[in-house]
Amino acid sequence: DPFLNRRRANDFIQADTRLRAITQERIRERSKAPQEHQRELCEDYYPCEMYAFRHGYAAAYKHYFGRRRTK
């Protein structure tokens, strides 16, 4: 029989494993790498994204969001 009832279907995956995987994913979402955070900022700003296509995301982020010197 190719179909299983719900109880048998849930026996394949342990609940503890599923909860651990969900928890790990949530932790990864909260703690992003600085480069990933910079890339997302750049992707949300169209001129930065266009600059990134030509020069790369690191250069684009530095160009648009880098520290600006004030007098």
Encode the chain (71 residues) as per-residue pLDDT tens digits.
677 777 776 666 666 667 777 777 777 767 778 888 889 889 999 999 999 999 999 999 999 998 765 55
If asked whether residues 41 and 65 sit together in one domain, one would say yes
| Domains of the chain: total | 2
Separation CA 25–CA 28 (nearest Å): 5
CB 64 within 8 A of CB 45: yes
If asked whether residues 37 and 64 sit together in one domain, one would say yes
CB 38 within 8 A of CB 25: no
pTM for this structure? Answer: 0.53
Q: Coil, helix or strand for 14?
A: coil
Residue 66: both structure tokens together: 């880098």
If asked whether residues 10 and 25 sit together in one domain, one would say yes
If asked whether residues 62 and 37 sit together in one domain, one would say yes
What is the span of the domain harbouring residue 59? 33-70
